[in-house]
Amino acid sequence: MSAEQNLNIVPFVSVENMMDLVLATGTETFLRELATYVEEDFRRWELFDKVARIASHSRDGVIELMPASDGRLYAFKYVNGHPKNTRSGRQTVTAFGVLSDVDSGYPLLLSEMTILTALRTAATSAIAAKYLAPKGAKTMALIGNGAQSEFQALAFKALLGIDNLRLYDLDPAATERCRNNLAGLGLTITACRSAEEAVEGAHIITTATADKRNATILTDNMIGPGVHINAVGGDSPGKTELHRDILLRASIFVEYPPQTRIEGEIQQLPADYPVTEFWQVVTDQKTGRDSDGQITLFDSVGFATEDFSALRYVYDKLRGSNRFENLDLVADPDEPRDLFGMLLRRAAMPAISK
């Protein structure tokens, strides 16, 4: 994993490797370090080759490809979103991705990204909140206590100092699991019986529910002045979480407008409704929060540069480590054009010809 890396052997980060890497780093440190990569790439936004993700929708879900390049490195992620999956013991979101060298086009890294997506989504949410949430925010409501939830909680603790968490999920068992998993990690946790109860006294409200429809997790009367909303779960056409009236009262911040207009909460608004691109806040070209009473909304859908940042971070992190496997992924004939000859030589090997 260095300049001398043999480009024909591709490092592969399995789920086990990723878990070991996160645990060896410490989850909160990992989130903090990853967040610096995400933020750095928002700062470099203009030099990226960007495109709205390529989504293949079906009755129960979506499969998406998410590419991005900074001209030196190229990354893509394969990710699905199938809210019904949990009913049959599968996850709503799973992913894997590749980081490549633009000069040669050769892959540098193949990685699991189910865990990494949860980490990068949480890191991105927390970075957005660092710019947009009220100063001194200590209490967060977390509605939707599924796979993303603990990562969100820890990112907000690590990056913003959130120490009070109010949980709600339609399924009390999900809330219980989330509470148990976070026990002893420095958060005061309240399990609530409704979304209305969860948002009481919260400075930040994170919604991370999964339902393939226009849901109304938050209504206008639940949102007081000065609150920051981190809306994570509305990320596909026809899949939203907030009542439209909230959007009309909020200052809305988005990742990549051509993608968010189709997939985010703002799909409920006219196509020319004013929103602010988050990278412009990071680069000081636009104001984030400008008054105490302002309602800010990060209409998160997840953008390819965040996956690029995550793979770039993991690649840097693995240098000099052995927390990966080697994949024989790229064919390497002795003479580059003799690809067929390589096959013939393989056929002639005693073990193969038997």
User: What amino acid positions are annotated as catalytic residues?
Assistant: 235
Full DSSP string of 318-332 = HTT---SEEEE-S--
- Encoding tokens for residue 59? 């009755």
Q: Is 93 near ligand NAD (CB under 6 A)?
A: yes
Among residues 41 and 235, whose Cβ is nearest to ligand NAD? 235
Q: Is 170 near ligand NAD (CB under 6 A)?
A: yes
Among residues 108 and 128, whose Cβ is nearest to ligand NAD? 128
* Least distance (Å) between residue 333 CB and ligand NAD: 40
Q: With contacts defined by CB under 6 A, how many residues of the chain interact with ligand NAD?
A: 29
Q: Which residue is nearest to ligand NAD (CB)?
A: 146
Among 51-59, 165-173, 323-331, 333-341, which window interacts with ligand NAD (CB under 6 A)?
Answer: 165-173
Q: Is 60 near ligand NAD (CB under 6 A)?
A: no
The distance between the two most distant Cα atoms of the chain, rounded to a whole number of Å, is: 77
* Least distance (Å) between residue 330 CB and ligand NAD: 30
Full DSSP string of 233-286 = S--BTTBEEE-HHHHHHSEEEES-HHHHHHHSGGGGS-TT---EEHHHHHTTSS
Q: Is 39 near ligand NAD (CB under 6 A)?
A: no
| Number of Cβ atoms within 10 Å of the Cβ of 340 | 9
Among 182, 217, 223, 314, binds ligand NAD (CB under 6 A): 217
Among 137-145, 277-285, 287-295, 333-341, which window interacts with ligand NAD (CB under 6 A)?
Answer: 137-145
Among residues 10 and 128, whose Cβ is nearest to ligand NAD? 128
According to DSSP, the residues that pair with 54 across neighbouring strands are 65
Q: What angle, rounded to 10 degrees, do the helices at 114-132 and 304-318 form?
A: 110
Full DSSP string of 176-192 = HHHHHHHTTSS-EEEE-
Q: Is 167 near ligand NAD (CB under 6 A)?
A: no
Nearest to 136 by CA among 14, 4, 226: 226
- Quick note: the x/- pattern for ligand NAD over 239-278, rule CB under 6 A, is ----------------------------------------
For residues 34 and 47, give the distance between their C-alpha atoms in angstroms, rounded to a whole number.
Answer: 20
Task: Please answer whether residues 230 and 205 qualify as being in contact, where contact means their C-beta atoms are separated by less than 8 angstroms.
Answer: yes
* Least distance (Å) between residue 16 CB and ligand NAD: 20
- Encoding tokens for residue 250? 């909020």
Among 107, 134, 144, 288, binds ligand NAD (CB under 6 A): 144
* Least distance (Å) between residue 353 CB and ligand NAD: 49
Q: Is 169 near ligand NAD (CB under 6 A)?
A: yes
Among 100, 145, 267, 276, binds ligand NAD (CB under 6 A): 145
Helix (H) or strand (E) holding 167: strand 164-168
| Number of Cβ atoms within 10 Å of the Cβ of 24 | 12
For residues 61 and 202, give the distance between their C-alpha atoms in angstroms, rounded to a whole number.
Answer: 32
| Number of Cβ atoms within 10 Å of the Cβ of 250 | 22
For residues 215 and 315, give the distance between their C-alpha atoms in angstroms, rounded to a whole number.
Answer: 38
Among residues 48 and 256, whose Cβ is nearest to ligand NAD? 256
Q: Is 171 near ligand NAD (CB under 6 A)?
A: yes
Among 11, 97, 134, 302, binds ligand NAD (CB under 6 A): 302
Q: Return residues touching ligand NAD (CB under 6 A).
A: 81, 83, 86, 92-93, 117, 121, 143-148, 169-171, 174, 208-211, 215, 217, 232-233, 235, 300-302
